[in-house]
Amino acid sequence: MRLIEWVLVILTAIICVEQARGEAARTSDNLNADDDSAGTHFGYTPRQLRANHARYRQKTPSEQLKTYVANALETEGERGKVVDSSVAQLIKIAGIVLRAKGFPREADEIESEYLLYYYDAFSCLETNCVKSGNHPPMSEWLNKVHHTIHYKIGEFLCKYFHFHDLDILNYGVGVVFTPQKYDLKHYTEHFAGEINFGWFWNFHGVAGVVTFWTVQGVCSAGTSGMGAVSFICGAIAGWAENGMDKYIAPKLASRIWERAHQE
Read off the pLDDT of residues 41-52 as tens digits, 9 standing for 90 and up: 899 999 999 998
Least Cα distance to 247 among 202, 199, 192, 203 occurs for 192
As a whole number, the mean pLDDT across the chain is 87
Comparing 105 with 197, which gets the higher pLDDT?
105
Instruction: Kindly report the number of other CB atoms within 10 A of residue 136's CB atom.
Output: 13
Burial class (CB in 10 A: 0-12, 13-18, 19+), 253: buried
Whole-number Cα distances in Å, 189 to 150, 176, 201:
24, 10, 11
150 has a pLDDT exceeding 90:
yes
Ranges of H-type helices in 22-114: 33-41, 46-50, 53-59, 62-73, 79-100, 104-113
Q: Which amino acid is at 133?
A: G
Query: Stretch 140-164: mean pLDDT, rounded?
Result: 95
Closest CA to 62 of 222, 263, 213, 228: 213
Rounded to whole angstroms, how far apart are CA atoms 174 and 122?
9
Number of domains in the chain: 1
Residue partners of 39: CB distance under 8 A and separation at least 6: 45, 46, 48, 49, 228, 231
pLDDT, average across residues 199-227: 89
Least confident residue range of 100-104, 134-138, 165-169: 134-138
pLDDT digits (tens, 9 = 90+) for 54-89: 999 999 999 999 999 999 999 999 999 999 999 999
What residues make up the domain containing 163?
A: 3-262
Average pLDDT score over residue span 111-125? 93
Task: Quote the CA–CA distance of 214 and 88 in Å, as a whole number.
Answer: 10
pLDDT of 138 over the 70 cut: yes
C-beta separation of 154 from 37 below 8 A: no
